[in-house]
Amino acid sequence: MRHISLLSAALAVSLAISSGLMLTGCQVTENLKFTQQQKQLKLNPQTKVALSKLYQEKLRNDTELQAALKQFKKSQKQGITQLTDLAEQGNNQAQYELYRYYKKQGNKEQQQKWLDSAAENMNYLALKAKLQAAQKDNNPEEAAKYNLNLAIMDDLPAMYATGYNYIYGNGLPVRMEDGLSWLEKLCSVDFTRYEASESDKKAATQAVLDGAILLCHVYSGEQFSDEYQNNMKNKHFSLIAAELGSMEHQILEAMRHSKSEILKEKDQAVYWYKKALEPKNKHTEHYGLAASLYAHFLADSLEIPNASQDLVKYANIAIKHERTEAYFPLGYHYFLQKNFTKAESCFTKVLPLDEDGNYHLSLGAMYLGLHDPKAIPVLYKAGQLGKARAFTLLSQAALDPRMGPINPDAALKYQQEACRLDYKECSAKE
């Protein structure tokens, strides 16, 4: 049953592809250690303040504007006069306040005049208003222009939009390098040092997550030119996506760590599988897949604390989510418990899914250990599916009187077939 290690790795990749996980564009790489280049990718963290918060601070510190607004509350006429003086001097917030005032008055000409002036002078709220209007009018060129202005001011959602727009030519010319530059700058934000309101932080987090996923699309080489393929960057931004809550990338991180025999790496695999399997993800598309992959991993990592109990738990969760392949690790659990009836039932359920012979080989090996003649057709099917080991076991069975009459010719034939499929199975006696 030690072939299960190979099965887990192969099954994990095939399941991820068939379930659409690879649409994220992130590849699972073999290298488990950060190279020096990867360390360089971890940009120096810096405290970043949300643009809306900076705007509010600037507004509070503008004494002339505050005086005009205070006067406006006492006398609209005198307040408007003061705001107009400031606006004509280039105060973009005074321009925006005039826009708000004339909008309430229904004066469209003055409203538009002062909104345009405020936006031209890079007023945050004016640019936001222009962006919303462009989006409402379904004008990608105008929307891209205002997103670019906001991105220059370090608005994180706008940085994502600008990177996206350059990559896909959405309202901007296709300039891949510019798009990647904006997205990488976006993903360098350290949220432990990010000052913002909860709503702004939520929007910023989503922007960084979307940016990291898009960078994975590019650096995987699967959806764009191979010249941008970069496994090291792909891995780096996949980790960022996982840390920010992408279930698909948490699964990919778990799969990457599960390839190692090092206990520390296996602990990381457990961490990421459990993150993916948090209750909040219970109704998502890939929950059953994550449970199935975790059960397969645990079947090959029984040294992990509580592995056996968790294997049963998550295999059953996967089965409830219609992941039939999860019967395999469950069957393996019952086999180790010497509950061969339940093991047989589980293994039999996955046989129709068998494409490479692993499932048939497992059931056939169990039958052979029980000296059950049903081993012969099951192992033969595994051999037909390409498992050299199955023919080696058939050769042994042909010489075992407990399996029926001894048949040396059949034993030799099976051993030759095993050797043909895999030289490692060649017998020295042949």
pLDDT, greater one: 46 or 6: 46
Residue 143 pLDDT > 70, yes or no?
yes
Residue 93 pLDDT > 90, yes or no?
yes
Residue 397 pLDDT > 60, yes or no?
yes
pLDDT in tens, 284-319: 999 999 999 999 999 999 999 999 999 999 999 999
pLDDT in tens, 145-156: 999 999 999 999
Nearest CA among 366, 371, 328 for reference residue 347:
328
What does the mean pLDDT of the chain come to? 87
Alpha helix stretches (DSSP H) within 307-355: 307-320, 327-336, 340-350
CATH class of 354-430: mainly alpha
Beta-carbon contacts of residue 299 (< 8 Å; ≥ 6 apart) = 4, 8, 311, 328, 329, 332, 333
Amino acid at 220: S
pLDDT of 325: 97
Q: Is the pTM of this model over 0.85?
A: no
pLDDT of 29: 31
| Section 54-73 average pLDDT | 88
Domain range summary for the chain, segments of one domain joined by +: 354-430
When mean pLDDT is compared across 12-26, 68-82, 253-267, 284-298, the lowest value belongs to: 12-26
DSSP string, 154-217: T-HHHHHHHHHHHHHTSSS---HHHHHHHHHHHTT--GGGEE--HHHHHHHHHHHHHHHHHHHH
Q: How many residues does the chain have?
A: 430
pLDDT, greater one: 428 or 415: 415
In terms of Cβ atoms closer than 10 Å to its own Cβ (0-12, 13-18, 19+), residue 26 is buried
pLDDT in tens, 331-385: 999 999 999 999 999 999 999 999 999 999 999 999 999 999 999 999 999 999 9
